Structure 1
């Protein structure tokens, strides 16, 4: 179960009463690479293979599925094996983030070349569909939600971490053969540099959100040729950088 019921006191309209509240059930997930590097983070124990694949790509540790030799999952423990040469290349540029995971220092940004386009009406419809599919968020209010769209496929994942939610949908796309160069990611969260860089590393040309971009995210989007769609709410949105990818019809 991803949801747990707990006791709480609710104060409303000048009255306090005992209530039962739903909360999301997160676990300490440990990802170990080649048996030598190990970090733990708080996440929902779900779609862990997708998370591991997305993480390895989004943290610039692998470039293709062929670089991943093995992923084994036992409960909340993930053991991944990649090419030793890739590990040695990337190990020196890894740093720990506040959640106990890794965030590679952004040393280079490779532009995403893609002629993919999407209509603004589709984006507006998808953000509503994203919320409708966010079952844990609807029950608890305690998750971030991310979706990946490829052709007529729309896959949604939730997690307590916005980074993990995005890693999961990108990992799903990679495992299932999506052409990420003709896909887009839509999610609930801000768009700073450490989120936008994931798009450049995976080759996803568009990142859309109901929240705002940060200046750091905008700068990475410019360097990486990523289209950002922010404030996607109701019948409105803002498009930043390479606006030609969004069709107004």
Structure 2
């Protein structure tokens, strides 16, 4: 039960990130790159202070640390860039489809046991997600932004796979954010391409980075070892459903019969996949 509750809390944090990102980049109020850098910096500050408060040391690690940092950068900037022009629902479909492929491939390559029932549940949940998020007729497709979202999905899948080996989730997440934030600031310094910094989007970026990303990702690294790659992958299919429900609750978006039926299919597939036996 504890693992289920922690997983649910993490998925809510991920969904909140999606909503905050959409709000901050709406109508071009802020550049995607600037939002990503602010998100990394605020997450690095919050997590770094927690590490210092607990009197732990900063351990930058070896090759796996830099691989995680690269994957985190790919996700943060690919995600923000794609959502600057991509339909939110279709973007989420691309993101989590690629995450599924990446993490299931990682599980197969590392010979993680994947029961048949989990494959069936994953396919049901993914089918429900396709039904829920497939764009309506007349939607225009921007292939560069689709590629950016696919790149973000692969980055997040790799970042999650690497998290299974984190012995200290908080410290590992803090180091990932500190190094990624330094890379983001270096990019800003070299390009000098900051753009407008309106107070509202800046606040949303800080909340996204310090709370729903920083603390949410630390919790994610904490639950990844007991979840395993494939159960963690399938659990994330609930994020678009939660995000759409949040849009209905906080943004006044409409809830349809299609949403209700497709969400039931997604949740049913996820619950089937998360069964221990």
* TM tier relative to shorter chain: under 0.3
**Where is the strand percentage greater, Structure 1 or Structure 2?**
1
Pick the structure with more helix per residue: 2
**Greater RCO structure (CA 8 Å; 6+ sep):** 2
Q: What's the TM-score once normalised by structure 2's chain length?
A: 0.23
